[in-house]
Amino acid sequence: MTRGAPVAIVGAGPTGSTAALGLAARGIRSVVLDRWPEVYPQPRAVHLDDEVYRVLARLGLGDDLARLTRPTRGLRLVDADLRCLAQLDRDGVSPATGHPRANLFDQPVLDAVLRERLRATPEVTLLAGHEVTAVEQVAADRVEVRHRTGPHAEEEVVEAGYVLGCDGANSLVRTSAGARLLDLGFEQRWLVIDVETSAELDQWDGVHQVCDSRRAATYMRVGTTRHRWELQLLDHEDAADLATLDAVAPLLRAWLRDVDPAELTLVRATGYTFRAAVADRWRSGRLFVLGDAAHLTPPFIGQGMGAGIRDADNLAWKLAGVVDGSLPYEVLESYEPERSAHARSMIGLARAVGITMTSGGPTGDVTRRALLPLLPRLPYLRGLAVDSATPPLVATPWVHRRRGDRLAGRLCPQVVHGRPTLDAEVGPRWALVSAVAPSPSCVAALTERRVAVVETGSRPELDTWLRDGRARAALVRPDRTVLTSGDDVAALVATATALIAPQPGEVPA
Ligand SMILES: Cc1cc2nc3c(=O)[nH]c(=O)nc-3n(C[C@H](O)[C@H](O)[C@H](O)COP(=O)(O)OP(=O)(O)OC[C@H]3O[C@@H](n4cnc5c(N)ncnc54)[C@H](O)[C@@H]3O)c2cc1C
C-alpha cells in the first residue's frame, strides 16, 4: 500500500509528536510512523523547564501538563554525606512564560498523552507498530519511506515531500541523510532507579546533586509516590547485578533513613551510558533529523527531551510555511544553525555540571566543599542558576541580531496582567508586538500575511519588556522568537512583508 502526505515523521516520541502537532496546528498533514504499537514504557525524562512547557501548552496540552507535572523547588548541591553545600532555588513561576520554572513528571505518562493527542488530530495519520526500514529521496521533491508491521509483513510505502527523523539515538533517518554523531567528549555509566512508595522520605522537595568524586548521584521526588535516583556506576560495578530492590537498597540507605526498604516497590533499575554528542549535519535535502536523532546530552540539567521539543517547535512553522507557500524554501536552511548552536550550549552546560559533580578526585571534593557554598552568594552565578531562560538563538536570515537589538533571538514573554495569555491570543501566527499603533497600510499588509498585531498599551508587561529592550516594536516568529526589534515600526513591517507571502483564506484555529 502506498500513502501520500506532505510530511512523514519517523518516531512518535516527544519530538515526533510535537512536530506533528505543530504542523497540524498550521493545517499541514503528516504521517507519523513508530515501530512500537504503544509508548516506550520505561521512565526516562523527569524534568522539563517553563520554556518547553510553553511549547506544549501552545499545542493545547496546558491542562494535561498542569495535571501530570509537579513544580519543584530547585537544586541542592550536597556532599557524600548529603550535607547541603549550596541551594539554588528555582521555584515559582517564570515572569516571562507564566509557567513553573522547573517541573517533574514521568515520561511514559507524557508520551501517552501526546499519542492520544496524535490519534485525535485529523491532520495526523499515526501508524503505530510500523517499523521504517528505508528512507530515500527519490526525486527532487519526493522522499519514499518504506515500512512494515513485522519482519514477514508486506512492505508499505509513504511518499512524502519531507521526512523528519525523530527516531531517537540510533536514527535510521540520520544514517540515510549521510550524517553521523560527533562525540563531544563525555561518557559515563550510570544506574537509573525508579521507586514507588507511599512512605514519606522527608527530603527537601527539589533536585539533589551529590557532588562526590567517588560516586556522583542525583535524587528527586518525581511525583507524590514516585522517586528517582541516578547513581554513577563504579568501574567494577555492572548494572545487571543491581536490578533488584535487595541489590539497590544499600545504595539508597542514606536517603531512606528510617524507612524500611520493604516499603518500596522498584519500578526499574537500569544502566545507561550518558553521552554528549551532536550530528555533524541535521539535514540532507528533504530529510531532517530532530531530537535524540540529532543530539545526545547527559541528563544532569534535564534538557535532552526539551531540546527535541525545541527542535520540533523551530522546524514545524518553517516547514508549514514552505508547504503552504507563505515562506521561501530557504527558511529551512536556518533550522540547523539555530538549533545546533542552542543544543550544543545546553549540552556544554550539562557536561560542565557532570564534570563539576565528579572531577578531581579527593582534591576535587575538598575544593567543592570550599567553593560550592559561595555559589548562592555570587549574584551573577546565582542568577544563571536560578534563571530558567535558555540562551538566545544565533543570527540567521530569520534572526537579525544586529548591534543594539537586545531582543532578537530571545523569546517574547507571554504574561499579560499576570496570566500567560499572549500565546493563546496569537495562536500559530507571527506577531508584531508594538508600543505604537502601526499605520492602516501596515496593518493591512500584516493582516494579509496573517501576522497578529499586538499593541502593548493595555498589556503592561509587554510594554515594560519592549522598554527594557530599548525598542518600540518587535517582530515575533510563530515559535515566539524575536526576529528583530527596533523603533521604526514601518521598517519591521517591511521586514515581515519581505519574508512572508500574502496568505488567502482563514487562519487555522
Ligand atoms: C535516564 C534518563 C534520564 C533523562 N532525563 C531527562 C530529563 O529529565 N529531561 C529531559 O528533557 N530529557 C531527559 N532524558 C532524555 C529524553 O528521555 C530523550 O531526550 C527523549 O526521549 C528523546 O525524545 P525523541 O522523541 O527525540 O526520541 P525517543 O523518545 O527515543 O523516541 C524515538 C521514537 O522513534 C521510534 N523509532 C526509532 N527507530 C524507528 C524506526 N526505524 N521505525 C519506526 N519508529 C522508530 C522509537 O520507537 C521511539 O518511539 C533522559 C534520558 C535518560 C535515558
* pLDDT at 383 (0 to 100): 61
Determine if ligand 1 sits within 6 Å of the CB of residue 303. yes
Ligand 1 pocket member 193 (CB < 6 A)? no
Span from the CA of 66 to the centroid of ligand 1 (angstroms) = 22
Digit-coded pLDDT (tens) for 178-190 = 999 999 998 999 9
Cα 180 from Cα 411, distance rounded (Å): 31
**Residue 211's pLDDT band (boundaries 50, 70, 90)?**
confident
43 lines ligand 1 (CB under 6 A): no
The arithmetic mean of pLDDT across residues 408-419, rounded, is 96
Average pLDDT over residues 234-261: 95
State the pLDDT confidence band at 366, using cuts at 50, 70 and 90: confident
Mean pLDDT of 89-96: 87
Residue 509 pLDDT exceeds 50: no
Place 451 in a pLDDT band, splitting at 50, 70 and 90. Answer: very high
Mutation pick for ligand 1 pocket among 44, 166, 181, 390 (CB with most ligand atoms within 8 Å): 44
Tell whether ligand 1 has an atom less than 6 A from the beta carbon of residue 311: no
3-state secondary structure of 467: helix
pLDDT of residue 415: 96
Under the banding of pLDDT at 50, 70 and 90, the label for residue 100 is very high
The band of 350, judged by pLDDT with boundaries at 50, 70 and 90, is confident
Query: What is the DSSP pairing of strand 131-139 with strand 142-148?
Result: antiparallel
Q: Is 45 a pocket residue for ligand 1 (Cβ < 6 Å)?
A: yes
Question: For residue 164, how far is its CA from the centre of ligand 1 (angstroms)?
Answer: 15
Ligand 1 atom closest to 292 (CA): 26
Task: Look up residue 226 and give its three cell numbers.
Answer: 514516585
Mean pLDDT on 42-48 = 93
Ligand 1 midpoint to CA 296 (Å): 10
What percentage of the chain has pLDDT greater than the value 70? 95
Residue 75: the pLDDT is 86
In 360-447, at which residue ranges do the beta strands (DSSP E only) sit? 415-416, 419-420, 430-434
pLDDT for res 384: 57
Buried b (16+ CB within 10 A) or exposed e, 211-226: bbbeebbbbbbbbeeb
Q: Is 46 touching ligand 1 by the criterion CB < 6 Å?
A: yes
What spacing in Å lies between the alpha carbon of 39 and ligand 1's midpoint?
10
Which of 52, 70, 297, 305 is the pocket-test mutation for ligand 1 (most atoms within 8 Å of CB)? 305
Q: Which of the pair, 361 or 417, is modelled with greater confidence?
A: 417
**Residue holding cell 490519534?**
119
Can you read off the three cell numbers belonging to residue 46?
A: 523527569
Q: How far is the centre of ligand 1, averaged over its atoms, from the C-alpha of 174 (Å)?
A: 15
Cα 473 to Cα 347, 411, 444, 466, 470: the distances in Å are 33, 14, 17, 7, 9
Task: State in Å: Cα 151 to ligand 1 middle.
Answer: 23
For residue 236, what are the contacts with CB-CB under 8 A and spacing of at least 6?
A: none
**Which atom of ligand 1 is nearest to 17's Cα?**
25
306 lines ligand 1 (CB under 6 A): yes
Ligand 1 in reach of 431 Cβ (< 6 A): no
- Centre of ligand 1 to C-alpha 480, Å, is 25
Express each pLDDT in 370-403 by its tens digit.
666 766 666 655 665 667 789 999 999 999 999 8
Q: Is 292 in the pocket of ligand 1 (CB under 6 A)?
A: yes
Q: Which grid coordinates belong to 275?
A: 553521552
State which ligand 1 atom lies nearest to the alpha carbon of 130.
Answer: 43
The reported pTM is 0.95
For 35-83, where are the E strands, in sequence order?
47-49, 70-71, 74-78
Q: Where does the pLDDT of residue 361 fall: very low under 50, low under 70, confident under 90, or very high at 90 and above?
A: confident
Q: Is 47 in the pocket of ligand 1 (CB under 6 A)?
A: yes
pLDDT at position 487 is 96
Contact by Cβ (8 Å): 481, 424: no
Testing ligand 1's pocket by substitution, the residue of 17, 18, 34, 191 carrying the most ligand atoms inside 8 A of its CB is 34
Mean pLDDT on 245-267: 95
Q: Structural domains in the chain? A: 2-42+107-182+276-349 (3.50.50.60), 415-499 (3.40.30)
Tell me, in angstroms, the distance from the centre of ligand 1 to residue 167's CA: 8
The confidence score (pLDDT) of residue 363 equals 75
Q: How confident is the model at residue 302 (pLDDT cuts 50, 70, 90)?
A: confident
Helices then strands, counting H and E runs in the chain, come out as 14, 25
Residue range 277-286: mean pLDDT, rounded: 97
**What mean pLDDT comes out for the span 260-264?**
96
The sheet carrying 430-434 orders its strands as 451-455, 430-434, 473-476, 482-486
Residue range 55-80, pLDDT digits in tens:
999 999 999 999 999 999 888 889 88
What mean pLDDT, rounded, does the chain reach?
A: 93
> Ligand 1: does its nearest atom lie under 6 Å from the Cβ of 308?
yes
The answer to whether 36 and 112 are in contact (CB under 8 A) is no
Nearest to 118 by CA among 108, 109, 128: 128
Three-state DSSP string of 102-160: EEECCHHHHHHHHHHHHHCCCCEEEEECCEEEEEEEEECCEEEEEEECCCCCCCEEEEE
The neighbour count for residue 315, using CB atoms within 10 Å, is 30
9 C-alpha to center of ligand 1: Å? 14
C-alpha cell at 415: 504574561
